Chain A
């Protein structure tokens, strides 16, 4: 028989695709199993080590200690108000700083990218400021703006600004010259070129920087709280450190990690919406967060 009857072939197709799907599901299950296994080994090992005295719980805490500490904070609050207030404070500082840094970063990035003269004049100064370890600016901001919210927002914004600025600048510089020429020939004014061509084109670059920037915003808020504040997760950690409360430090760390992960997830959703026009292949870019 030279040809397979169509019915048999369709049947074959079905089994093939079913097999492929089963293989995929199996693979997925194996990955999850491995991931859960690692978590289990680490947590169990830590707990057992702490119980047997192999790991000193005074310095390294223990999983159960962390859970108890977190539960205590959640129910009884911390020394400076409820635990939720601390979380909200840090989140508010980080988000405000993020918004301010992103807006100013995009604005100046596009401006300097579009006006080469400005870029040449201001460029060296930006490089100088960027070369500073910007975290130390936090001390200045606490002196200037006090222990409240503004100094943390400022620190977060400065950290975010540089990441976004350099990407926006680079994005504007790498806009396809043909697209700009074409828009100009079609009669676009300079502002129209920026709005319709340059900005959307730089958007790919800007969005790539936002993941990193979000991490920096949270770092800025927490370091700011470390340096001097009346509430926030940074203060919670600082206090725990001063009282040698290892469980407290780890507990606050886990909460910050959770915050960062959910912010990251929200960011990815935003990215998918903003870059919906991109072909599927180029979307697979995984940007490393901080």
Chain B
């Protein structure tokens, strides 16, 4: 990503800049976490990488080719699970290969294998609403990974889960990432999660977002349980460094929104 700027035109006609001159390079197979205050354009960055939106200025390149339309070889895991509620779990996971033009029975057998991989063998015929939040997240992961993406985009994927489930899912994500080694762009507001998972943590400034700092996470891999690494000395050091950078931005965002509320102009 080189000098990417995205301007949205708001319905009232005014231009709003979501991110400004964001430059960011992620190496193949790297796990990159993006943190920043709310409304700083973290999610926008992902939609640009996915090709769902086109940048207003600058270029987005994935594996060297400029993004134009939906990026090839990319999968997206959303904050709210994007499962089709009217299809059983198996059909949901089989969607990826089916859209790629693979026959129905082949797609389903692949989906079955993937459901077993994420520990949901035996739930093939359940509908999404019959599963717990953590299980739905597993299905989302299987549905995203079944296409064997080279780039996996994750937009606060675990933020709706409770703390225990989140820890389990984080470990599971690392295992899957180890096996397939896709490049991962992982947006989160949880700094511990970011440091625990990623090779690299990018801090975005308060909106309009731009890259404030990039931290390399030199914790050794495999890292084992995400819950335990939090007590590692190096982890704490990194946490303090990154939090130092992030805090200013969070405080600025907070002051801004507080000011708006105080002067009675509260809008998002």
Task: Say yes or no for A200: interface residue by CB 8 A criterion.
Answer: yes
In whole angstroms, how far apart are the Cα atoms of A176 and B84 in the complex?
10
Known: A178-B78, A178-B80, A277-B127. A183 touches B95 (CB 8 A): yes
In whole angstroms, how far apart are the Cα atoms of A80 and B176 in the complex?
76
In the assembled complex, 14 residue pairs joining A and B whose CB atoms fall closer than 8 Å, in A order, are A181-B52, A181-B76, A183-B99, A185-B50, A185-B74, A189-B99, A197-B84, A200-B84, A201-B86, A277-B86, A277-B127, A278-B86, A279-B127, A279-B129
In whole angstroms, how far apart are the Cα atoms of A203 and B147 in the complex?
28
**Are the C-beta atoms of B82 and A187 separated by less than 8 Å?**
no
B78 / chain A contacts, CB cutoff of 8 Å:
178, 181-182
Task: Say yes or no for B66: interface residue by CB 8 A criterion.
Answer: no
Kindly report which residue of chain A lies nearest to residue B85, judged by CB atoms: A277
A185 / chain B contacts, CB cutoff of 8 Å:
50, 52, 70-71, 74-76
The proximity string for A residues 191-211 relative to B, scoring 1 for CB distances below 8 Å and 0 otherwise, is 010001100110100000000
In whole angstroms, how far apart are the Cα atoms of A190 and B184 in the complex?
27
**Are the C-beta atoms of A196 and B52 separated by less than 8 Å?**
no
Task: Say yes or no for B143: interface residue by CB 8 A criterion.
Answer: yes
Task: Give the A-B pair count, Cβ closer than 8 A.
Answer: 58
A240 to chain B, nearest CB (A): 47
In whole angstroms, how far apart are the Cα atoms of A200 and B52 in the complex?
22
B213 to chain A, nearest CB (A): 29
In whole angstroms, how far apart are the Cα atoms of A187 and B70 in the complex?
8
Main secondary structure on B side of the interface with A:
loop
In whole angstroms, how far apart are the Cα atoms of A192 and B84 in the complex?
13
**Are the C-beta atoms of B127 and A187 separated by less than 8 Å?**
no
A192 / chain B contacts, CB cutoff of 8 Å:
99
**Are the C-beta atoms of A186 and B84 separated by less than 8 Å?**
no
A279 / chain B contacts, CB cutoff of 8 Å:
127, 129-130
* Interface size counted on chain B using CB atoms at 8 A: 24
> Which of B47, B84, B147 interacts with A187 by CB under 8 Å?
B147
B129 / chain A contacts, CB cutoff of 8 Å:
278-279
**Are the C-beta atoms of B127 and A186 separated by less than 8 Å?**
no
In whole angstroms, how far apart are the Cα atoms of A286 and B84 in the complex?
24
Interface residues of B (CB under 8 A from A): 47, 50, 52, 70-71, 74-76, 78, 80, 82, 84-87, 95-96, 99-100, 127, 129-130, 143, 147
The proximity string for A residues 224-264 relative to B, scoring 1 for CB distances below 8 Å and 0 otherwise, is 00000000000000000000000000000000000000000
B75 / chain A contacts, CB cutoff of 8 Å:
185-186
**Are the C-beta atoms of B99 and A179 separated by less than 8 Å?**
no
Task: Say yes or no for A184: interface residue by CB 8 A criterion.
Answer: yes
A189 / chain B contacts, CB cutoff of 8 Å:
99
> Which of A179, A181, A184, A186 interacts with B147 by CB under 8 Å?
A186
Known contacts A176-B82, A178-B80, A186-B96; 8 additional CB pairs below 8 A are: A178-B78, A178-B82, A183-B95, A184-B52, A185-B71, A186-B147, A277-B86, A279-B127
A182 / chain B contacts, CB cutoff of 8 Å:
76, 78, 82
Task: Say yes or no for A100: interface residue by CB 8 A criterion.
Answer: no
A61 to chain B, nearest CB (A): 49
Kindly report which residue of chain A lies nearest to residue B88, judged by CB atoms: A277
A116 to chain B, nearest CB (A): 14
In whole angstroms, how far apart are the Cα atoms of A188 and B99 in the complex?
5
B164 to chain A, nearest CB (A): 24
A178 / chain B contacts, CB cutoff of 8 Å:
78, 80, 82
**Are the C-beta atoms of A196 and B84 separated by less than 8 Å?**
yes
In whole angstroms, how far apart are the Cα atoms of A196 and B147 in the complex?
18
A278 / chain B contacts, CB cutoff of 8 Å:
85-86, 129
Kindly report which residue of chain A lies nearest to residue B146, judged by CB atoms: A186
In whole angstroms, how far apart are the Cα atoms of A210 and B70 in the complex?
37
Kindly report which residue of chain A lies nearest to residue B129, judged by CB atoms: A279
In whole angstroms, how far apart are the Cα atoms of A175 and B233 in the complex?
48
> Which of A184, A187, A200 interacts with B86 by CB under 8 Å?
A200
